[in-house]
A = this chain, B = another copy of it.
Amino acid sequence: MKGTAELLKEHQLKVTPQRLKIVMMLKKHGHINIEDLYGEMLKEFPSVSLATIYKNINQMIDNGLIQEVKLPRSKSVYELIKDPHLHMVCDKCHKVEDVVVGTEKIIEEAEKLSGYIITESFITLRGICAECQATQ
């Protein structure tokens, strides 16, 4: 896995302790919302400001390091930009997972039917994860 500081530098962002922590949290959790991120940050930086979190998140989005994932029925989460994938949300435990599934066919069909030239797809699936199926 690429170094956290390098990741920031590659995206024209100065390396600060707060930014390192944000990216480390994203690496660790995969997906995290602002509230949870703030809670985690407070543990290491007791005087960190929510304004700092927002400023950094927005800047990281602008610089192409992370992206917002809008979810049905819940708050947005953020993730490091990586290979295209879709999101699975569990209705029971509310976790979010990535799944790498080929989307070419559906995109091709949608292009044919609509006449659009498609540049990006956002796919989220709601359901029950394997663990929650087992424990119900």
**Cβ A103 vs Cβ B101 within 8 A:** no
Interface digits, A92-136 against B, CB 8 Å rule (1 contact, 0 not)? 000001011111011101110111111111111111111001000
A88: interface (CB < 8 Å): yes
Q: State whether A117 and B133 are in contact (beta carbons under 8 Å apart), knowing that A70-B70, A72-B70 are contacts in the complex.
A: yes
CA gap between A120 and B110 in the complex, in Å: 18
26 A-B residue pairings within 8 Å (CB atoms): A68-B72, A70-B72, A72-B122, A86-B110, A99-B110, A99-B114, A100-B113, A101-B113, A102-B109, A106-B123, A110-B125, A111-B127, A114-B129, A116-B125, A116-B129, A118-B126, A118-B127, A119-B127, A120-B125, A121-B124, A121-B125, A122-B122, A122-B123, A122-B124, A123-B123, A123-B124
